[in-house]
Amino acid sequence: MPPGSTRPRGGFDLPAKEKRLRALEDQSADPDFWADQRSAQSVLRDAEGLRDELTTWQTLLARADDLVELGGMATVDPELERGVDSEFDEILRTYERLRTSLLFSGPYDAANAIVSISAGAGGTEATDWAEMLVRMYLRWAERHRFGTEILDQLEGEEAGLKSATVAIDGRMAYGHLRAERGVHRLVRISPYDSQKRRHTTFALVEVLPEPEDDVEVGDIPDDDLRIDTFRAQGAGGQHVNKTDSAVRITHIPTGLVAQSQNERSQHQNRELAMKILRARLLERRIAEREAEVAQLRGVHVEAGWGNQIRSYVLHPYQMVKDHRTNVETSDTTGVLDGDLDRFMLAELERTATEIEPGAGS
């Protein structure tokens, strides 16, 4: 590699992926495999995706090996040489299409994701924007044939959502969606403004990896938890439960909070809230490690509301622009309908090709 160039972190560990596939296949052969339907479907999706990925790379490697052998004979046969050149170009194009898989080398990239969206200040305009983002990510998941489940949502006073938490199940769901963390900015003529003025509003997107098991986070002592129950809230008094079925759990040592109110059963809401809390604890651990690495690089990283990553401008012109990568498009309708891969992959490649501490020295 030339001096001064960058190298993506991680790599494609074929034996490790083959070992992981065998483990998933062994798991699916267990007599109690279908006891947990959601978990079983997640395992099967992971195995299918991994099997397809392995087949693709094994085929490409075999083609490359055959090409090396042909290359030795091509120097004495002009027609064969042209065929070798053509095959080389095709293999290279295929590799360029496949190399995006190398961006997903993080320890949790293959995990399911939990996406939380919170409206910023701005009343109905902000809650409407939060609901638009929820729809955008649900449509993105649909394009990838990922499973989705709304774990919790709090409706706005007049329209939209104050907040929502969505589980997205699929191979590399977290790997893709981690590029979406940060503040998303909308500029448009507000449909809720009788004077038709232009409004700018914001929403915060948080993306958490779903822990595969309790080992990821460890046991959480009961003394570390404060559990509050309350009546689920609906817009304008609609769909309000008559009992205190909603659950809010606070992790006292960190101050992290998770809640669920979508289910009618307090027990179900408690399970979902604990699932979200575990994901938040795992994300906190990942964020601490990323902060340490950023400090080593001398990079200042703002968190939460200070980190505006993308603008969606619907007036006076049509443009979606990512401020980290400068990727932009005028197809605002397509983006809001879930066409997000160009933005995700550009950000993942940007972070993957950052020079490691000491690189190039």
List the CATH number of the domain containing 311: 3.30.70.1660
Q: Do both 169 and 124 map to the same domain?
A: yes
Q: Do both 197 and 279 map to the same domain?
A: yes
- Residue 301 pLDDT: 44
- Residue 324 pLDDT: 94
Give the Å distances, CA to CA, from 98 to 6, 28, 37, 248, 298.
19, 27, 31, 43, 32
Residue 349 predicted with pLDDT over 90: no
Residue 170 predicted with pLDDT over 90: yes
Domain C-terminal end among 71, 103, 135: 103
Count: domains in the chain? 2
Domain C-terminal end among 103, 121, 155: 103
- Residue 214 pLDDT: 57
Q: Do both 147 and 215 map to the same domain?
A: yes
Residue whose C-alpha is closest to residue 53's, from 147, 136, 175: 175
The whole-model pTM stands at 0.68
Our CA angle for 328, 320, 343, nearest 5°, is 55
Q: Do both 318 and 213 map to the same domain?
A: yes
Q: Is residue 162 part of a domain?
A: yes
Q: Do both 119 and 99 map to the same domain?
A: no
Compare 104 and 182 and report the one with higher pLDDT. Answer: 182
Domain C-terminal end among 103, 135, 169: 103
Q: Do both 282 and 147 map to the same domain?
A: yes
Q: Do both 219 and 94 map to the same domain?
A: no
- Residue 13 pLDDT: 65
Compare 202 and 242 and report the one with higher pLDDT. Answer: 202
Q: Do both 190 and 64 map to the same domain?
A: no
- Residue 327 pLDDT: 97
Residue 62 predicted with pLDDT over 80: yes
For 177-202, what is the mean pLDDT? 92
- Residue 295 pLDDT: 60
CA–CA separation, 180 and 97 (whole Å): 22
Domain residues for 327?
A: 113-300+307-352
Residue 297 predicted with pLDDT over 70: no
Q: Do both 181 and 52 map to the same domain?
A: no
Compare 121 and 321 and report the one with higher pLDDT. Answer: 321
Residue 148 predicted with pLDDT over 50: yes
CA–CA separation, 309 and 183 (whole Å): 6
Q: Do both 259 and 314 map to the same domain?
A: yes
